Amino acid sequence: MTDDQGWADVGFNGCQDIPTPHIDRIAQEGVRFVEAYVTFPVCGPSRAGFLTGRYQDRFGFTTNPSIDPCNPEAGLPLEEETIAQVLQKADYRSAIIGKWHMGTHPLFHPLERGFDYFFGFLSGGHNYYPHDLYLNDITQVTKKWEWYRTKLIENRQPINTHEYLTDELSNAAVRFIKKQSDDGQHFMLYLAYNAPHTPLQATEEYLARFPDIKDEKRKTYAAMVSAVDDGVGWILQTLVDQGIDENTLIVFLSDNGGASNNASQNTPLRGFKSDLFEGGIRVPLAMRWKGVIPAGQHFNKPVSSLDIMATIVAQNEIPIAPERPLDGVDLIPFLTKKKDGDPHDYLFWRKWEQDAMAVRKDHLKLVSNWNQEGGLPFLFDVVSDISENKQLAGDNQQDLDDLMSHWNDWNAQLKDRVFPTLGADVWWTEAQR
Ligand code: CA
């Protein structure tokens, strides 16, 4: 998983100025999802949905939680099960390498949430140069955003690192995969790169690959994506070297659309990170499972990041607790043509803080503000109008009513926010100490 990477910033979605040959191999040797969505247009809620396989507002994860190691509410609610907890039932070993963002209180630590190994950082973003990482841990933070400067953590220990962060994470991923396959242990690795999220920082080695990009921001962004692509290449090679290339399912995606501040590109999609237009929620997604998923597919039906957990759980035949049903579907039967039709009848989104909603059914997508009295909702045919320019709401009352009524039924199942939002975190101020 990458962070804030634009829809158009992978070769398999047509990117011209940033080669991503290794990421593209996942799509070429497997499937490229043309209309893939995450469940929220910013990091935290999107990841909470991805990691539980459930719409995150079912458990009140409506926004980025405050970065607050003193708050036992500000994280992924403990009554939810992560994909790592579920996979323990099938004897998997799981790791998260990179960005956690599911709470900084010790109760929310990845090792408490089903993961057997953690190498990374707890907050929602991080500096990339090792000399910038000087705080021993998050409790030493004295000002906002200083959590970007904590040392990396291995399991529960702060460690000194020496590489550019993206390389550090890629190397840790390779080590984990080697160890598990040497032990004959099946595994799940959640490699959560923070690249290319801000701050825009890249090394000379990667910057030198882009002499023709004149815009400095875009050049640095390109270098950051290129570093991720190298890491993907190391991992793909490790799978070959370890002889587990054929029986490893690999998924690549971004956690939300490209942001307006990191020089990413979502073209031709409308909008950016934090929007419910396609630019905020439609992401690059590719999946490879050699011998199972026929290679070179372009899958055109809408799919969700929720489907990744559902697919993995179904393929391992792991029972799911009835009180926490998954919202995704197993995609494998659709990719092997055993099933036809749309994996989802409806896909839903909610931005609780903004009273904003969206719903997709077939070609149609409704984007609206549910408390906006008299305001015209946006209705688009996102298949013929990928850029969401042609407003259809005026003479489609029946479609509007259907979409709105299904969204209302879904919304009635959701919770309000259960923790303080990012920005409410003042625990580090002197007054609090
Ligand atoms: Ca993000």
Render 107-157 in DSSP notation, one character per residue. Answer: GG-GGGTT-SEEEEESSS----SGGG--BSSGGG--STTGGGGBPEEETTE
The 3-state DSSP class for residue 73 equals coil
Distance 348 CA to ligand 1 centre (A): 19
| pLDDT score at 376 | 72
DSSP state of 33: E
The 3-state DSSP class for residue 356 equals strand
Neighbours of ion ligand 1 (CB under 5 A): 3-4, 43, 255-256
- CA atoms of 178 and 233, how far apart (whole Å): 15
Give the right CATH number for 347-411 from 3.30.420.310, 3.40.50.300, 1.20.1250.20, 3.30.1120.10. Answer: 3.30.1120.10
Active site residues: 43, 101
Domain positions in the chain = 11-344, 347-411
Q: How far apart are the first and last CA of the chain?
A: 36
- CA atoms of 217 and 23, how far apart (whole Å): 22
Distance 6 CA to ligand 1 centre (A): 10
Extract the tokens encoding 61: 């994860």
Cα within 13 Å of Cα(91), Cβ side:
3
Distance 288 CA to ligand 1 centre (A): 23
Distance 319 CA to ligand 1 centre (A): 30
Model-wide pTM > 0.95 = yes
Nearest CA to 309 out of 25, 31, 56 is that of 56
Distance 324 CA to ligand 1 centre (A): 25
Q: What is the mean pLDDT of each run of 10 residues along the chain (433 residues)?
A: 98 98 98 98 98 98 94 96 98 98 97 98 96 93 92 98 98 98 98 98 98 98 98 98 97 98 98 98 98 97 98 97 97 97 97 96 94 80 97 89 97 97 68 51
Distance 144 CA to ligand 1 centre (A): 19
CATH 3.65.10.10 fits 11-344, yes or no: no
Distance 3 CA to ligand 1 centre (A): 4
Distance 199 CA to ligand 1 centre (A): 12
Distance 2 CA to ligand 1 centre (A): 8
What is the number of helices (H) and of strands (E) in the chain?
A: 10, 15
- CA atoms of 329 and 303, how far apart (whole Å): 9
